[in-house]
Amino acid sequence: MREFAYERATDAERAVAAVNAEPDAVFLGAGTNLVDHLKLGIIGPGKLVDVSALPFDQVTQRADGGVRIGAAVRNADLAAHPVIRARYPMLSAALLAGASAQLRNLATTGGNLLQRTRCPYFQDSTVPCNKRDPGSGCSAIGGFDRDQAILGASDRCIATHPSDMAVAMAGLGAVVQVLGADGEREIPLVELYRLPGDAPERDTVLERGDLITAVDLPALDWAVTSTYRKVRDRASFAFALVSVAAAVDIADGVVRDVRIAFGGVAPMPWRAQAAEAELRGRAATEANFAAAADAELAAARPQRLNGFKIPLARNVLVATLRELSEAR
């Protein structure tokens, strides 16, 4: 591991300035992703600016009826928060489906959003990876691609985003609060991430020194009818093969509104806008749920070993919507 300098930030503005002042400085929160990559030699920053003591560890009610989640709120605390459990059950369920209890006790909201989109080849510094070393090639293409993306990938990278929490937040229409060198700004969560295209080394649209301070959830009253379903190879501590976060508003058997996001299928949390459009104003029937899934997955482009993800995603979405419609 490369030697590095360490600074403990005392306020957010100074933290941003400290990272901007040095070309190889990075923020350190809980470090559950960053420290792994330091140990593996994937990254070697010259300075770590520790933001874990900044006052962003609260969940608060907003005047507009929504909720603000501080970037330093621990995953376990957020999953157990009574407001989140009551009003946004899909978010609580997604958090509980992620990682292990030990990691959830340490990992933060901001860090979870910013964990690297990655695959095993990214973690192995002995093989080519465009995300780790731009222009070196993608070892997953033509390699072991079973777990890789079927939506939004490129000929430079086919890795999937690992976060469960981010999938639920994408479905809810969350907005990320960011502090940068030019002040504060808001970024809709679905616009925070970028597809790999020809620059897979950039996971997000954040600029150097940008610090996530909070995430806002809208006052979506009908999100009480929501859930998160994750399919994985083992019962815990495994990334999703396919996951679905969904919330639905049904009245008189008709879908008035719906929110859907997929995980495990794309380089970013995948908001299923085509499926949502297909469902709004239609009867809450299994046939319509299947048609919505087909509309979203029409753009899927599987790799050699992961074609099974298309019917799996279809079936998981249909089952999730059926469960929610029956719960009404």
Q: Between residues 236 and 71, which one has the greater pLDDT?
A: 71
Q: What percent of the chain is predicted at pLDDT more than 70? A: 100
Does the structure show a pLDDT above 70 at 274?
yes
pLDDT digit string, tens, across residues 14-54: 999 999 999 999 999 999 999 999 999 999 999 999 999 99
pLDDT, tens digit (0-9, with 9 covering 90-100), for 287-307: 999 999 999 999 999 999 999
Share of the chain above pLDDT 90, in %: 96
Burial class for 221, CB neighbours closer than 10 Å (0-12, 13-18, 19+): exposed
Mean pLDDT of the chain: 96
Tell me, what's the pLDDT at 328?
Answer: 67
Confidence class of residue 77 from pLDDT cuts 50, 70 and 90?
Answer: very high
Q: How far apart are CA 267 and CA 167, in angstroms?
A: 12
